[in-house]
Structure 1
Amino acid sequence: MPAAPPEATQDSTPHALLAFLHSQSQTTLTRLYQRPSSCLSMFRLLGPLERQLIMNLLWLDSAVPAQTMSAWVTQEGRKMYDNALVSLSKLHILSSSPVKLALNTTFKSSLRHAIVGGGTSGSFGVPAEPDRKHPPPSIETLDAYALERWETILHYMVSSGSGRFPARPSQGVLLLLQRSGLMTNMHGSALQITSSGFQFLLHTPHAQLWELLLQYLHMAEERQMDLVEVLSFLFMLSTMELGRDYSVEHLSGTQTAMLEDLRDYGIIWQRKASSRRFNPTRLATTLTSSAPPLPTAGNSSGSHQAQGFIVLETNYRLYAYTDNPLQTAVLNLFVTLKSRFPNLVVGAITRESVKKALANGITANQIISYLTTHAHPQMRKNKPLLPVTVQDQIRLWELEKNRMQSREGYLYTEFASQADYEYVLEYAKKLDVVLWENALRRCFFGSVEGHSNIRGFIERRSAGNV
């Protein structure tokens, strides 16, 4: 087996869901692998080398000696090959025998079923009967619905629940934002965005969606939901056809209960809560693919934004060709906005705006990464893409912030004599709790951990016991 092709190394970061699945038991995963749609979705989430290994073993009826398989691996690809085997073993897709390689029989059978078709298991969803009175919504309607629901969540986070936007997410969504650490309830007031929440806003929509879904999976057990049913329903949605009606008749109790939650996230559309049919949106059908989860044309997040909409000059001035309020709000996290026109926002990256972003947990690299990702096509002709002076200055402002560190402690001052000061200071240094000292002013600053010992020493010395 040759080393992975060059394109395989371009996206070497494992999918966020895989780490969660690594922690699940073999019984849980084997139950999940009973559904062909789950196995196909898992196959999509894996890296190129893992997929190649599975396809090499899928149609074999007997195990392959591990030595035979490793003989095809080049020296350069050895580490990648070993990592792929470990990953597949943790997912219980591959047997853990060091002598022979074989796929989990349940996984192999279901993936074969998913590839060649056949059967009436309904693993990929059961299409609903045509309804002349209520035809399925258009793809444009589904896209607009998904975008509206998703941006409602992001707008609420940007505004920190201040009510500047008319729409408000459901209580279920607000609970999820709290439990995931993206927002917090400070002293009984409205929810406030956290530093993790600011970082969340700079991620891609696909990464954002899975971050919330992972928290949803972590909460499944306390909500008395069957984790396998939750996972299998998400995987089922990822294999459905956009724009088609599907019946709810064959869903389990857990999956039926999930419909309300998934409506709030914009993942599914239903005409009304009691409807016996539903439609997956683009957020659902792209869960396990590399396609964008939100529409890229025909709305405020137009194709020009998908390609890039930011122009940054060497004088720190920034021009954003967008009329999307959410895009503008995200830019406002680290840019001083000065003017707004139809389809254009003008601002500047300043020391104050970057310091505000840094204080909220956004790093210099995240700012630079966001500017790079959303750079206008005209800027992509530049080498380097972003002005080096601007990149360096953003990093310098971050270093300036990190140069000063705060520590809790106690300041010891007003000593009766220089001898008293030096005597107590020497004792504190032996305890290794001195954080700062000033001999001219006869004072020093000690850590919280050493305060009780230093205070006791001073009291004993004052009483003449030392």
Structure 2
Amino acid sequence: MPATVRQRPQPGQKNPDSSTHALLPFLQVQSATALSRLYQSPSSCLSIFRLLAPVERQIVMNLLWLESAMTPSTLAAWVTTEGQKLYDSSLDTLSHLHILHNYPTKLALNTTFKTSLRHAITGGGTTGSFGVPAEKDEKRLPLDVEGLDSYALERWETILHFMVSSGTGQNPQRPSPGVLYLLQRSGLMGNQHGSLQITSAGFQFLLHESHAQLWNLLLQYLHMAEERQMDLVEVLSFLFMLSTMELGREYSTENLSKTQKAMLEDLRDYGLLWQRRPTSRRFSPTRLATTLTSSSPDLPSSTGASSTGFIVLETNYRVYAYTDNPLQTAILNLFVSLKYRFPNLVVGSITRDSVKRALNNGISADQIISYLVTHAHPQMRKNNPLLPVTVQDQIRLWELEKNRLKSQEGYLYTSFASQADYEYVLNYAKQMELVLWENNAKRSFFGSIEGHANIRSFIERRSAGGSG
């Protein structure tokens, strides 16, 4: 089949032709030894196969059941002229992942990867790579699927709600210290005036669907694995194992490594798995975990960017939000002055003060406009342009207004005895590149705070010399 096939991208992929899943670049920079260890797990190989772009998966399947290598020219003969660039890029990706062996001399799969993926597809092997189901406990029934969904949604929205509500005077439920540390390390929140507040990157994070948001945090978690003295391969293997488990089933912790058992607490905080007690020897993965490497919806009532549009924006800057979701209301409150709240409707206005408040929190005008576009009500989508141009222009003008002025600490030097004294000190400060502003008519200039000690010493030396 020619390599011009198109398929809906996996979560985290903008387009299979131009982008890859967020995890693949991370895997490509890992050592061949680490990847070889990872490929010993059938669940890991199956999960990585799911994350590959369509043409990459097609190449793997064409080579999977071959016992000998294929010549590059043989496979290249199937590629159309239009698909050549995409085909070459796919081979390059597979090579960097060490899935292809001895490329470009010949085309053959890494032996370890091939064996494990075959086991994953045919059901062979007894390694417990896909988890070991726990024995049924008649006294304590496992949490049902609906309960797992509610638990995962509550944990995940606790994190998002804290991000948008911190710094606004509200007191949302606080996530665990581990989650807060991760939010800071990933740049989604920053310490301002002694409290954590959402950053510009954090607001952009809120525009994504929850699946992409989760992988954003998990990638930062993977980057931190080494400093926490965790085995990266075991961390990855456990995440891939969770992604292949069955929703609603309990699994045993007995076969998990020390690193993987330590991960249980972290993943509970993100809503990826549920345990009756922290010391329990069984756990259940939630939908957030079982869909990590699939294109299935991660949560049945997700509040990410893929949610149905609910915002109506009028030319008079009035905003009507048809929602009863506290998280969506809190996000709107970042840049909208809310006036009224009804059971399924929130009414407010975009004002100069509300936009300035958002800008001071690091949110840009383009991000505000992008959020309004992303969540526009279906009725709004009949308009052309979708948002009123006057409102878009005014939001950008308010941003330009903020950027016109810059504040900088320093010292004002004035009341010189003569023009000669003023010019003498001014020239010295200019030579040292310490002058921020000057006014010759008033014999005054403004110097940087770092250079004040030098300027003061110069003035004192000149005064001691008897020059006034």
TM-score tier by shorter-chain length is 0.7 to 0.9
* SS of aligned partner of 2:346: strand
Residue 114 of structure 1 pairs with residue 115 of structure 2: no
Contact persistence 1:162–1:190 (CA under 8 A): no
Q: Report the Cα offset of residue 235 of structure 1.
A: 0.8
Distance 1:75 1:137, change over 3 A: same
Structure 1 residues 274 and 432 mapped into 2: Cα distance closer, same or farther (>3 Å)?
A: closer
Query: Residue 353 of structure 2 aligns with which residue?
Result: 352
Which whole-Å CA distance do the structure 2 matches of 1:102 and 1:451 have between them?
A: 68
In the other structure, the counterpart of 1:291 is 296
RMSD over aligned Cα, in angstroms?
3.4
1:451/1:26 CA distance change after superposition, 3 Å: farther
CA contact (8 A) 1:15 1:45 kept: yes
In structure 1, the residue matched to 2:274 is 269
Residues 191 and 197, structure 2, Cα contact 8 Å, conserved in 1: yes
Using the TM superposition, give the Cα deviation of residue 419 of structure 1 relative to its aligned residue in structure 2, in angstroms. 4.6
2:374 corresponds in structure 1 to 373
What number of residue pairs does the alignment pair up? 461
Residue of structure 2 in register with 1:307 after alignment: 308
TM-score under structure 1 normalisation?
A: 0.85
Secondary structure of the 1:120 match is coil
* Pairing of 1:45-444 with structure 2 (within 5 A): 45-66=51-72, 69-70=75-76, 73=79, 77-95=83-101, 97-160=103-166, 164=170, 167-183=173-189, 191-296=196-301, 306-407=307-408, 411-422=412-423, 425=426, 434-444=435-445
State the alpha-carbon separation in 2 of the partners of residues 2 and 89 from structure 1: 17
164 and 414 in structure 1: CA distance in 2 versus 1, 3 angstrom threshold: closer
Deviations 1:163-199 (A, max 9, x none): 9557443333333334434445667x66454554444
Cα distance in 2 between the residues matched to 1:98 and 1:455: 69
The one-letter amino acid paired with 1:333 is L
1:57 maps to amino acid: L
Judged with a 3 Å threshold, the aligned counterparts in structure 2 of structure 1 residues 85 and 406 are, in CA distance, closer, same or farther, namely: farther
In structure 2, the CA distance between the partners of 1:336 and 1:153, relative to structure 1 (3 Å rule), is same
Contact kept? 1:181, 1:197, Cα under 8 Å:
yes
Q: Is the 8 A contact 1:66 1:99 kept in 2?
A: yes
Residue 84 (structure 1) shift? 3.3
User: TM-score, normalized by length of structure 2?
Assistant: 0.85
Q: Secondary structure at the match of 1:346?
A: strand
Structure 1 portions without partners, runs of 5+:
none
Whether contact under 8 Å (1:199, 1:361) holds in the other structure is no
Distance, in Å, in 2 between the alignment partners of 1:417 and 1:32 is 78
Paired with 2:87 and 2:185, the residues of 1 have a C-alpha distance of 37
> Aligned partners of 2:432, 2:38: CA distance in 1, in Å?
56
- SS of residue in 1 equivalent to 2:347: strand
Which residue identity does 2:269 align to in structure 1? Answer: D
Give the secondary structure class of the aligned counterpart of 1:278: strand
Query: Helix, strand or coil for the counterpart of 1:329?
Result: helix
Q: For residue 211 of structure 1, what is the amino acid of its counterpart?
A: N
- Matching residue's letter, 1:42: I
Bigger Cα displacement from structure 2, 371-380 vs 332-341: 371-380
Distance in 2, Cα, partners of 1:454 & 1:56? 75
Give, as a single letter, the amino acid of the residue that structure 2 aligns with 1:2.
A
Percentage of pairs with the same residue: 74
Cα distance, 1:316 vs structure 2: 1.5
1:335 Cα deviation after fit: 0.8
